[in-house]
Structure 1
Amino acid sequence: MDQLLSGSDYNQLRAFVAVGELLSFSRAAEALGVSPSALSQMVRGFEDRVGVRLLNRTTRSVALTEAGETLFERVRPAVSELGEAIGQVRRTRERPAGTVRIHAFRSAAQAHVEPILPRFAAAYPDVVLDITVDDTVTDLVAAGYDAAIRIGEVIERDMVAVRLGPELRQIAVASPAYLTVHGRPAHPRDLVHHACVRWRWPGRSTPYAWEFFEDGAWFEVTVGGPLIVSDKEMAHRAALQGIGIGFVVEDTVREDIAAGRLVPLLERWSAPFPGLFLCYPRQRQMAPALRAFIDAVRRPDMLG
């Protein structure tokens, strides 16, 4: 408390209360960790500021004046309460507690948040994780979130971003039944002649244009088809059902490809892009609860 509130006004008031409690400059100086001369100077400065003598001093004793007694009785509880309040804040800084608001893409929540929840709750019982799971690209600060987990390409430049995994790759896939009837596209631009399962970013009005890589540059293909969804898992299932060609993160369909339920297409033009990152605003002092969550996501093995 002494270091945190070091303004002259507070120090002088605190010095006066200490002397008023102990009625001894030497004992009050020892309690506050200052020299008797420094304490005497602070009390004298306080008396000058209020414009009235507050203490009667002799070589053998110290006593409160009538004005000093009145002031002492009024300010002593306030100084005590202030000290307790600062101490409580300090204890909070040392022990993670409070609510942490997190925004996570669905795939990010499944991969990096859900697996740590039981151990995190056991390790930090005073922390509440308030987690919003959706694929909306939202302004982290404006929406009041403490941190987010999302793909690297939609993270604001002024955020601290911590990589959580390898690069990802989106690929076109189709069921064997679909390919038997409609054939395979030979180039991404051939997709305009196929039925495609389109995906729309939540909160946006138009579907996402599929992105491919050729000759050192990315290009987009605006596809069409009988289905537009805002949920990637639904798009995945629709591709499995043969409704059309899907465009999905490769990691999410590895088992289906291995089992022959889906066939990868146009892989030559499918390049990796930045994967999932944990991001949060730059800040001089981070709340212990947020630090605990960040550390748990970065190093889940440390939770035990």
Structure 2
Amino acid sequence: MKFINTLMTPTEFTQIQTFLTVAETLNFSRAADRLGVTPSAVSQTIRAFEAHMGQQMFQRTTRSVVLTEAGAALRARMQPAVREIAAALAQTRSKGGPQGTVRILSFRSGAERFLLPLLPELRRDLPDVDLDITLEDALDDPVAGGYDFAIHIGEVVAQDMIAVALGGELRQVAVASPAYLTGHEVPDHPRDLVDHECILWRWPGQRHPFPWEFSENGRWFKINPSGGLVVNDKKVALRAALDGLGVAFLIEDTVRDLIASGSLVALLEPWVAPFPGFHLIYPQQRHMPAATRAVIDKIRAGARRDAG
């Protein structure tokens, strides 16, 4: 039987490394900085890789770089293998403790509660683990983005991911300041919001504001309120509500103290119901890198302390 050499050549390895770096950054200059080469070298390597593959991997314009369908498919296939190689190298290099880089994607509010307070502990107890944290409220696919795990609200977790609850259920509540309510009638039903100035929130990357969801007799229904202020950051919506600019729809945990102090008034509470809270999510994999497992265990332990 003829021996088939399945090892990559140095040129192929360089092309794959360059391809994955550009696919992650979607910017030739940033990819060049990471790789320690010039942008022209990155461009030449990508052109050679595309010629070798017989497929165009990127659509390039003067303003943007995006993956083609073939490029996106190749990246998705390669990412698990690259993570396995990185895990094997880190484990081999390890001198007893977890080692390597852990890339984390998190909703901002989830990070503020479960991740950011733990940073001193993580850096102290895992000194050889580098943390690469991205705070983003957009519904990005953590696997496609090359992240090791994510902290997302349970109701947006993909079915093929492992999801571990970090806290209890959440509620969203409509709130307004006493100053705003002085000049407006308190709504008795969510449909009464049509007569109010509402502060709307939009998922990053989406064109339309997110609908407000309420529950009646165990069934959820949506309201699409109107208003002259649309934001993509919940803290901005909260600030606007405190300034008396209208009614905002916010996670109850973030406004509980302001409601207790009288700075905000909770509205429409009979129609507010709980929904799945924050979850730590990651892909199913045979061998999770020791560094990733160590960070996950720390976050879960911190969440248990927080709940207790």
* Fold shared by both chains (TM-score > 0.5): yes
State the 1:193 CA deviation.
1.4
Q: Do the aligned partners of residues 188 and 88 (structure 1) sit closer, same or farther apart at CA in structure 2, a change above 3 Å counting?
A: closer
Structure 1 partner of 2:218: 216
Structure 2 partner of 1:172: 174
Question: Aligned runs of 1:41-190 on 2, under 5 Å?
Answer: 89-92=91-94, 95-190=97-192
Alpha-carbon contact 2:190-2:223 (below 8 Å) kept = yes
Question: Aligned runs of 1:21-40 on 2, under 5 Å?
Answer: none
Structure 2 partner of 1:280: 282
What is the SS of the residue equivalent to 1:168?
coil
The alignment's C-alpha RMSD in Å is 1.9
Moved more, 135-144 or 293-302: 293-302
> Is structure 2 residue 193 aligned with structure 1 residue 191?
yes
Q: Matched residues in 2 for 1:289 and 1:145: separation?
A: 13
State the 1:95 CA deviation.
2.9
Q: Matched residues in 1 for 2:208 and 2:90: separation?
A: 51
Q: Matched residues in 1 for 2:197 and 2:90: separation?
A: 62
* Structure 1 unaligned regions, length at least 5: 1-85
Q: Matched residues in 1 for 2:159 and 2:90: separation?
A: 35
State the 1:106 CA deviation.
0.6
1:297 to 296, 299, 302: 299
Alpha-carbon contact 1:198-1:208 (below 8 Å) kept = yes
Q: Matched residues in 2 for 1:228 and 1:87: separation?
A: 47
Q: Report Cα offsets for 1:27-70 as digits up to 9, x if no partner.
A: xxxxxxxxxxxxxxxxxxxxxxxxxxxxxxxxxxxxxxxxxxxx
Question: Aligned runs of 1:253-264 on 2, under 5 Å?
Answer: 253-264=255-266
Q: Do the aligned partners of residues 261 and 288 (structure 1) sit closer, same or farther apart at CA in structure 2, a change above 3 Å counting?
A: same
Structure 1 partner of 2:253: 251
Q: Matched residues in 2 for 1:302 and 1:270: separation?
A: 26
State the 1:185 CA deviation.
0.8
What is the SS of the residue equivalent to 2:115?
helix
How many percent identity over aligned positions?
A: 55
Q: Do the aligned partners of residues 88 and 179 (structure 1) sit closer, same or farther apart at CA in structure 2, a change above 3 Å counting?
A: closer
Alpha-carbon contact 1:170-1:249 (below 8 Å) kept = yes
Q: Which AA in structure 2 matches 1:147?
A: F
2:236 to 224, 234, 237: 234
Structure 1 partner of 2:51: none
Alpha-carbon contact 1:198-1:235 (below 8 Å) kept = yes
Q: Which AA in structure 1 matches 2:130?
A: V
Q: Do the aligned partners of residues 173 and 302 (structure 1) sit closer, same or farther apart at CA in structure 2, a change above 3 Å counting?
A: closer
Alpha-carbon contact 1:93-1:287 (below 8 Å) kept = no
Q: Matched residues in 2 for 1:112 and 1:262: separation?
A: 25
1:203 to 187, 202, 205: 205
Q: Which AA in structure 1 matches 2:119?
A: L
TM-score, structure 2 normalization: 0.68
Extract structure 1 runs of 4+ deviating beyond 2 A: 86-95, 300-303
Q: Matched residues in 2 for 1:177 and 1:186: separation?
A: 18
Alpha-carbon contact 2:198-2:227 (below 8 Å) kept = yes
